[in-house]
Amino acid sequence: MKFDIVTIFPRMFEAPLGEGVVARGIEAGVVDVAVHDLREFTTDRHRVVDDVPYGGGPGMVMKPEPFVRAVDHIRATRGEPAAVVLTSPQGRRLMQADVERLAGLGHLVVLCGRYEGIDDRVREHVATEEISIGDYVLSGGELAALVIVDAVARLVPGVVGDTRSVEAESFTRGLLDYPHFTRPAAFQGWAVPEVLLSGHHGEIERWRRREAVRRTLAHRPDLVDVARLDPVERAMYDELKERATSVAPKHEGAGAPIEGADHERD
């Protein structure tokens, strides 16, 4: 998988690409990331990359020519990319489905904007897609580019050493993960849920699925709407939903506390 990033801040990429899963992919030779300094593609003495907006208004706009020259350079030296991604707050929100599609493309160029944005002719004539990473304001496209590279690179075969966790993602069918614990079994009076120490693999499996459904319902009800629940998870969901919406029973009918129900602050 080949990535080419175009930015005025190439040093922002050094530490993130030099550590962790992406660095391992680069070392293993299955990921290749080239970071290009946009100023290298200017032609004036002062290496200017921005200018005042036509029509007036605050701030500066990135000039189109350095981006066009950078992408032409990439085409000539690195080959024809399958996609040219423009990072922008106006883009479609990045989803795991996009990440999977991009991972199948083999060669991506990512253009990072700064200031008020990039001259729109770059989006129209150079970019093949425009991507945002979420509904909050960043100061530029570099962190978005790093998010895209990280999410895509970890799907490249050979990047994540133990492939079981990547494979497990396809079995969650859109639910959040279940809670994880490791030793010690008790720490400062904080106990690991008993069921996980029981060795009953069937019960553990059922507890984890129920916790995944419960957390998704509590934190991301929007995901439950699109999650593909199997009949067991559907039953867990109906039961949790019933409990959440029913009127609290009077004291004498309350019964025993539910195991694990007090574990998380929702």
User: Which residues bind to ligand 9D3, rule: CB under 6 A?
Assistant: 87-89, 113, 116-117, 132-134, 136-141, 144
* Residue with the two structure tokens 């494979």: 167
User: Closest CB to ligand 9D3 among 133 and 159?
Assistant: 133
Within 10 Å of residue 31's Cβ, how many Cβ atoms?
23
User: Closest CB to ligand 9D3 among 1 and 144?
Assistant: 144
Peptide bond into 89 cis (omega under 30): no
259: Cβ contacts below 8 Å, ≥ 6 apart: 193, 194, 195
User: Closest CB to ligand 9D3 among 117 and 210?
Assistant: 117
Cβ 50 to ligand 9D3 shortest distance, Å: 12
User: Closest CB to ligand 9D3 among 147 and 153?
Assistant: 147
Cβ 8 to ligand 9D3 shortest distance, Å: 12
Cβ 118 to ligand 9D3 shortest distance, Å: 9
User: Closest CB to ligand 9D3 among 129 and 177?
Assistant: 129
Region of residue 176 (left: phi > 0; alpha: psi -120 to 50; beta: else): beta
Cβ 53 to ligand 9D3 shortest distance, Å: 12
Cβ 158 to ligand 9D3 shortest distance, Å: 28
User: Closest CB to ligand 9D3 among 94 and 212?
Assistant: 94
- Give yes or no for a contact between 80 and 109, defined as CB atoms under 8 angstroms apart: no
Cβ 111 to ligand 9D3 shortest distance, Å: 10
